[in-house]
Amino acid sequence: MNLVHLLLRQARQCPDRLAILYGTEPWATHAQWAQRSAGLAQRMRAAGLVPGDRVMLFMRNQPRYLEILWAAWWAGLVVVPVNAKLHPREAEWIVANAGARWAFVTHDVASEPLAGLQQQIDVESDACDDLLTPVGDAWAVPVVEREAQDLAWLFYTSGTTGRPKGVMLTHRNLMTMGLTYFIDVDPVSSEDAIVYAAPMSHGAGLYAIPHLMAGARHVVPASGGVEPAELFALGEAIGPLSTFAAPTIVKRLVDHAEQHGIQAEASARAFKTIVYGGAPMYAADIARALRVMGPRFVQIYGQGETPMVGTALSRRQLADTAHPRHTERMASVGVAQTPVQVRVADADGRSLPTGAVGEVLIKGDSVMAGYWNNPEASSAAVRDGWLFTGDVGCLDADGFLTLKDRSKDLIISGGSNIYPREVEEVLLTAPGVAEVAVVGLPDAEWGEAVVAFVVLQPGSTATRDTLDRHCLASMARFKRPKRYEIVTELPKNNYGKVLKTELRQRLADPAHAASGQRSAM
């Protein structure tokens, strides 16, 4: 079960169909893609790389990403995708931990050699062009066959608390993810186009697999990232786009559509499907997105440890406003995707009844093989086949999962559990509020006190007093923030997730604490 056969299948059946575009410009047909990947695979094997060796991709979004990814699998290698926003020293730590032998980079990301590598290739160089040129008949280059349980993708977690861990994803894991997309997320045809605006080193890149399965087009924007005007124009030029986006990217697209008066009909010409996930999407935000851009959204919940597969909230469920529990479903992350089981359990792994809050567990063929060279963490995370996600949530009678928070983010104040997301949901409905993050502050009397970091919209007149009145009108007094910090922005990692650890560190800083006490309610 080698994922490279997905490319070979398309290259043989429809060799001349356009497969990759760079902006609106054609980059490669399926046959050209396969020929280039074969050439690189041939040269990597000739240079001494053997099946199971790790090859790092430390580069911004670029059409070569797809060619190199499938070349590595052709040669039986394991890809180590690294976010282009990481510092080179952080990338070097991953090189050492993964034992990567080669790295493919873009000059803007790694202008100097990374320590520990045998070979570093600038993907925009003539040398890389030469490596991708097949020697003789590309179809004669043998595929290094792999077993379903062999590694394909070694993904390093974002490392918000200490060093990242290498998530070992197998060919079976990724094949499961690809096939599940058609059943639970979105049907795909050969006329479709997926655009890579979010980092290809993460979920966006993984969705290349189902779109290759369907023979769809792959589009890398010329900017290599998220430029809303560019993405809307691309969709108008080449046909409605599908994309994976973190909620922060969705917000930028919706802001652009609203600010430029782009109606839902025009949004439909630019975007077929926007799959969102990777961080909380608050009910108020998705309601606004649907109002501005129409029914083109699907939510997925998964983790790097079960890539893109956990639960899904379909566009049909999001649009079913007549359902008596539509409001609750909008705040959920949907129901279990087809190949997995999802349950909520106590600290000992015992299933909890409907409505009870506990840790979310997932089991199925998408769950990782473990953490690279970290048996202790692997044993703690996967027990009897169940992935202990560290997320806290509850299931309703219809199987819809509502996430409360990460277990480490739970606030216990005066003996009562307070879920930061619940407070954040309320504050996001306050006039003038753009973003919110809620954390706990150690408190001698209560154990922990609730602190809300709030980013205001431009021109907002909201104050700590108005925010507090809004909370008191919508939630129990014990849940309301004891303190409001008005900030210009929230700290986020390279994937757009708010770094609550950093917010807690700010509160622990004596200088910040002193100034904060003056602003406390």
Q: What is the residue range of 421's domain?
A: 410-519
Q: Tell me the CATH number at 439.
A: 3.30.300.30
Q: What number of CA atoms fall less than 13 Å from residue 296's CA on the CB side?
A: 25
Within 355-497, residue ranges assigned H as helices are 375-381, 420-427, 464-472
What confidence score (pLDDT) does residue 137 get?
Answer: 80
Minimal CA–CA distance to 200: which of 221, 180, 183, 181? Answer: 221
Give the residue from 146, 170, 200 where a domain finishes. Answer: 146
Tell how far CA 108 is from the center of its chain.
Answer: 23
Segment 132-146, tens digit of pLDDT: 998 778 788 999 999
Domain assignment present for residue 442? The answer is yes
- CA angle 427/320/328 to nearest 5° reads 35
Segment 15-63, tens digit of pLDDT: 999 999 999 999 999 999 999 999 999 999 999 999 999 999 999 999 9
Question: Tokens 């050699």 identify what position?
Answer: 113
Give the residue from 93, 127, 146 where a domain finishes. Answer: 146
What confidence score (pLDDT) does residue 517 get?
Answer: 41
Q: What number of CA atoms fall less than 13 Å from residue 285's CA on the CB side?
A: 26
Domain assignment present for residue 228? The answer is no
What confidence score (pLDDT) does residue 158 get?
Answer: 66
Give the residue from 118, 146, 174 where a domain finishes. Answer: 146
Domain assignment present for residue 250? The answer is no
Domain assignment present for residue 208? The answer is no
- In 3-state terms, what secondary structure has residue 105? strand
What confidence score (pLDDT) does residue 492 get?
Answer: 87
Amino acid residing at 352: L
Amino acid residing at 107: H
- In 160-305, which ranges are E strands? 166-170, 193-195, 217-220, 241-245, 271-276, 297-303
What confidence score (pLDDT) does residue 284 get?
Answer: 87
Domain assignment present for residue 379? The answer is no
What confidence score (pLDDT) does residue 415 get?
Answer: 67
Domain assignment present for residue 465? The answer is yes
What is the domain count for the chain?
2
Q: Which two tokens stand for residue 15?
A: 């060799």
Q: Tell me the CATH number at 107.
A: 3.40.50.980
Tell how far CA 295 is from the center of its chain.
Answer: 21
- In 3-state terms, what secondary structure has residue 184? helix
What confidence score (pLDDT) does residue 442 get?
Answer: 85
Neighbours of 405 (CB within 10 A): 23
* Residue 283 · residue 331 · CB < 8 Å: yes
Tell how far CA 321 is from the center of its chain.
Answer: 27
CA distances from 327 to 79, 160, 236, 321 (A): 41, 32, 33, 8
pLDDT in tens, the chain (521 residues): 999 999 999 999 999 999 999 999 999 999 999 999 999 999 999 999 999 999 999 999 999 999 999 999 999 999 999 989 888 988 999 999 999 999 999 999 999 999 999 999 999 999 999 999 987 787 889 999 999 999 999 999 865 445 789 999 999 999 999 999 999 999 999 999 999 999 999 999 999 999 999 999 999 999 999 999 999 999 999 999 999 998 889 999 999 999 999 999 999 999 999 999 987 788 888 999 999 999 999 999 999 999 999 999 999 999 999 999 999 999 999 999 999 999 999 989 999 999 999 999 999 999 999 999 999 999 999 999 999 999 999 999 999 999 987 777 878 787 677 888 889 989 999 999 999 999 999 887 777 899 999 999 999 999 999 999 999 988 878 889 999 999 999 998 766 788 888 999 899 876 665 444 434 33
Domain assignment present for residue 68? The answer is yes
Q: What does the alpha-carbon distance between residue 442 and residue 438 come to, in Å, rounded to a whole number?
A: 13
Tell how far CA 200 is from the center of its chain.
Answer: 10
Domain assignment present for residue 360? The answer is no
Q: What does the alpha-carbon distance between residue 492 and residue 155 come to, in Å, rounded to a whole number?
A: 19
Residues forming a β-bridge with 364: 340
Neighbours of 289 (CB within 10 A): 25
